[in-house]
Structure 1
Amino acid sequence: MSVRQQVLVLYLATSALDSEVVGWSSYDGTGRTSPTTGDGDEPPYESGVHALEDGWRLFQAAQLLPPHPGHEYDVSFLKHEFFFEKLVEAGAVSGGGPV
């Protein structure tokens, strides 16, 4: 069997990995589920640390960029974005998590 990647994107309340999840998406490269299957009203984890404890590997975090002067209170995209992955056998069932 071949190895495929599952990706979990968590948007956190702050830049701290142990802060609350405020948004998320998941993508399954195994083909067992359609993209973003499992996304619902409740986040798959309480924090990024909980995803790590469940076996997800952190591979990217958003850069911390200060707001331009005068734009400290502008509403924009969710800036505390963390990407996680699991590598699974294409025919295997994932052990835990949202995918």
Structure 2
Amino acid sequence: MSALRQQILILHLAQPDLESRTVAWALYDSSKPKGELQMQTGDSNVPPYESVLDAMRDGWFVMQLPTMPVFLSGHEFEQGHLPYEYVLERKVTVE
């Protein structure tokens, strides 16, 4: 019997443009059996997709767009979270 499972992909881009390069990512995969590692972080040198648009071409759906950051005068160069985070999802069939 087959079942539909969800995968969530989080891509952080260098710029807000959907074709901008991926700088960090995480993949949560519920199609894997319980007990098996569910999350894959961006710990390799090669991201799963070069951009959000590349992921969309491969069947991923964008669920969330980033809120554009507000840079206050005098604080433009402070470190913080990665501002251009996109959340994508797709459904896969498991046997």
Shorter-chain TM-score: which interval? 0.7 to 0.9
The corresponding residue for 1:82 is 86
Unaligned runs of 5+ in 2: none
The one of 31, 51, 58 aligned to 1:54: 58
Q: Distance in 2 between matches of 1:12 and 1:38?
A: 15
- Asked whether the 8 Å contact 1:27–1:34 carries over to 2, the reply is no
Alignment of 1:16-27 (within 5 A): 16-27=17-28
Matched, 1:45 2:49: yes
Q: Distance in 2 between matches of 1:47 and 1:31?
A: 24
Higher strand share: 2
What count of residue pairs does the alignment treat as equivalent? 91
Q: Distance in 1 between matches of 2:22 and 2:4?
A: 28
Query: What is the percentage of aligned positions where both structures have the same residue?
Result: 33
Unaligned runs of 5+ in 1: 92-99
TM-score, normalised via structure 2 length: 0.85
TM-score, normalised via structure 1 length: 0.82
The corresponding residue for 1:36 is 39
* Aligned Cα root-mean-square deviation (Å): 1.6
